[in-house]
Each structure stands twice: as C-alpha cells, then as structure tokens.
Amino acid sequence: MPGSGTGIYAHIVGWGMAVPEGVLTNKDLEAIVDTNDEWIRARTGIRERRIANERESTATLGYKAAQQALEVADILPAELDLIIVATSTPENIFPSTASLIQDWLGAGRAGAFDLSAACSGFVYGVNMATQAIRSGSIQKALVIGAETMSRVMDWQDRGTCILFGDGAGAVVLQASDVEGGVLSAVLRSDGSGYDLLGIPTVGSQDVDMDKVGANGHKMYKMFMVGGEVFKFATRVIGESVKEALEIAGLGLEDIDLIVPHQANDRIIKSAARSLGLDKNMFMSNVERYGNTSAASIPIALCEAIEQGRVQNGDDLVLVGFGGGLTWASMVVRWGVPEPDLRQATRFSKQRRQISYSVSRWRARSRRWRRQFNLHVTRIHPERGRVIRLRRKIDQYDSEDL
C-alpha cells in the first residue's frame, strides 16, 4: 500500500454532521436580491440552504458534528490526540475554533488548530491527520469542516449570496494495522488565482481598512469571479481524481463512490462527463444545503453513509476545490468495524456526557478564577493577606493546568 511503510493505516471510524434548522429557499432570496428560483435551480441545482441563527456559530455546529462522530466511533474525547477544524469562517482569527471545540468536548490531551484551505480544507485536514497517524506519532484524530458562510455573504451580490449555506461535518480517524483507510491524497494550490475567490480580512494588502479596497472587495465579505472558478473546478476535479487513484494503484473502474465538494450541480455533471463516469457515481446534496465550503464533503459523506451508499471494502474518492486556489483529492478504502461492534455502549455514552459537562464547568471555573485573581491583584496589591491568597490561587491554577 503506498506510503504505508510503518504498517499503520488511518481509518475513518466515526462521522457526524450538523446543520442549522433555519431554511432559506430560492423564493426567500427573491425578496432579497434580483434573482429567481428558476435561474438558481437551472444554473446551480440549489433549491434551499441552511442559515445559522444568532445562537449558532461555526464552533457550535462543529461541536455538534464532533459529538456525533465521537458517538459513532464510540471513543471518549480524552482519547483524541489531535483536532483540526477546516474553516473559512472561524470564530476568531485566533484563538482557533478547534481550541474552543477541544475545550467544550473536554479533549484534554489533544492539540488543536484551524486549517485554511477554503473548500478543499476538509480533504487537506484529513490528510494531515492521516500523515500524523501513519507516522506513529498519534493514534486518534478528529477532523471537522465547519462554516457559517451566511455571515460573510454580501447579501447584495446575487452572484455569490444565492450559492452558500451553513453547516458542519466531522470524522474521527484512528490508527489500525488493518490495511485500508486513507490510501492516497493529492493536495495542490495555485496562488495566482488569489483574486478569484476570497474573504479579505485584517492584514490584507489590497483592502482599505475603511471597508472597500481598490479592487472593490468588501472587508469580511466574500467575493468570487464565478465563471473563472467554474472553469478551474471542472478542470482540476478530473485531473486530481485520476492522480490520487494512480497513487493508490487503482483505476476509475475501481471507484464505488465519489464525494465531491458541493458547489454547483453543473460542476459535478461536467466532472462526471470528463471522467467518463455516470453522474450517479457522484454523491450530491447541493440541492438542499447549497455550498457549505469546507463542511460540504463531510456532510455529503454522512448522508451517503445514511443512504447506504457506502459499504465496507468500498473505494471512495473525496475531492475538493476552492479559494487559494486550492484543490485536493483523496482515495479512501472504507473499512470500519461492523455496526453492532460500533454501537456506543451506554457506559461510554454516559462518560462522554460527563466529559462535556465537566469540561463546561472546568472552563467556567478557570475563567472565574483568572478574573478573580486579576481583580485581587489590581485592587489590593500591597496587602499581605491578599498576596497570600493570590499565591494560593496561582498554586491551584498551576496544579490544575
């Protein structure tokens, strides 16, 4: 098996997804911009998308998807070594969304970071986790693709706002000596397409901080040159799928299912044509969720599993493309334990629930102690009693951490 010199393989053993309840239909969009249901359906295949409410965010959606994935994998948060969140809509520039989710889960032994590779981010993240597992340095990783694209839409730009939606998907990867799992990956970038698709933010060289830059891009709002991105996408899907298959030692005839980034149904049809494959070989749910960027592949994967389209021994291809420009393909030989062996036992289910609650309380009490500590030193820095109290708190903090 290519790249498996260590005899360690990385298998996907858990999966989960979360989408907001709020639905925005094409008809609803007619009241916002100059568009219509017929145009959107004909040019994109999208009928509706999910939109986060004010209590939902990239982290809350990612957290829900992660909980489900841990449930399916039947592992405890404390067993995770690494958490990667692929996102273009993080909660902050830093701290990372991954760190927030790490804390909420109570994954006390995991490293955590966000990954920025736009709509290819999930495949990039799964490959990063796979490499870490194969090297023997970690055993279990959680990879999440999570987005609240609705927050970075320019709701006056009909060329973009009709396309995107919110959601999250997650997988758990685990080391195994059983051959299979992630067999190959091809990650690519062409930064010359930097100005075709993006979200300008702090530090941007071509955006005036007074909201609009010389090139007309709005700060924190997504821009896209749709036609160019369309051409790029249809070209790279075919090329990179073939390359990933070749590295895995497989051919097009071996593929059981392709799970592509869900950007536009016409892109999927065109990729199927260029590869000479039936459109049914491609998982598509863009009709119901629109383009959820880094979340679209794990959401589509979850729904493909739910629909019984993924069986043990199947060879799947995941393929993403988007801002950067970036693109990525990956071949996965599906091989998780039989469902009855994966059923979460009530005992471990309860332990996971306890981990989430304890984690919430621990985070609150740590914050409270830090605030209290700060308050005490600011108000009475010179008082011996307070200084003694402060030393005690410091000692408590360092023991706890």
**Please, what is the minimum distance in Å from the beta carbon of residue 224 to ligand UT7?**
6
**Please, what is the minimum distance in Å from the beta carbon of residue 45 to ligand UT7?**
10
**Please, what is the minimum distance in Å from the beta carbon of residue 341 to ligand UT7?**
37
Is residue 310 within 8 A of residue 316, CB to CB? The reply is: yes
Is residue 313 within 8 A of residue 335, CB to CB? The reply is: yes
The CA distances from residue 70 to 13, 145, 160, 349, 351, in Å, are: 9, 15, 34, 9, 12
Which residue, 44 or 57, is less far from ligand UT7 as judged by CB?
44
Which residue, 73 or 330, is less far from ligand UT7 as judged by CB?
330
Count of CB atoms situated within 10 Å of the CB of 239? 15
Range 34-43 contact pairs with CB under 8 angstroms and sequence separation of 24 or more = 34/158, 35/158, 35/162, 40/162, 43/264, 43/266
Which residue, 35 or 285, is less far from ligand UT7 as judged by CB?
35
Is residue 131 within 8 A of residue 5, CB to CB? The reply is: no
Say how far apart CA 83 and CA 102 lie, in whole Å: 7
Q: Catalytic: which of 217, 261, 264, 302?
A: 261
Specify which residues 112 forms β-bridges with: 83
Which residue, 229 or 244, is less far from ligand UT7 as judged by CB?
229
Token pair of 367, please?
């914050």
Q: Catalytic: which of 161, 264, 291, 302?
A: 291
Residues forming contacts to ligand UT7 in the complex (CB under 6 A) are: 35, 39, 43-44, 119, 158-159, 162, 226-227, 229-230, 233, 263-264, 267, 291, 293, 322
For this structure, is 119 an active site residue? yes
Which residue, 77 or 260, is less far from ligand UT7 as judged by CB?
260
At position 367, the amino acid (one-letter code) is R
**Please, what is the minimum distance in Å from the beta carbon of residue 272 to ligand UT7?**
15
Which residue, 155 or 396, is less far from ligand UT7 as judged by CB?
155
**Please, what is the minimum distance in Å from the beta carbon of residue 233 to ligand UT7?**
5
Token pair of 286, please?
């863009």
Which residue, 130 or 264, is less far from ligand UT7 as judged by CB?
264
**Please, what is the minimum distance in Å from the beta carbon of residue 334 to ligand UT7?**
25
Residue number with the smallest Cβ distance to ligand UT7? 226
**Please, what is the minimum distance in Å from the beta carbon of residue 230 to ligand UT7?**
4
Is residue 131 within 8 A of residue 46, CB to CB? The reply is: no
Q: Catalytic: which of 119, 161, 217, 264?
A: 119
Residues marked as catalytic: 119, 261, 291
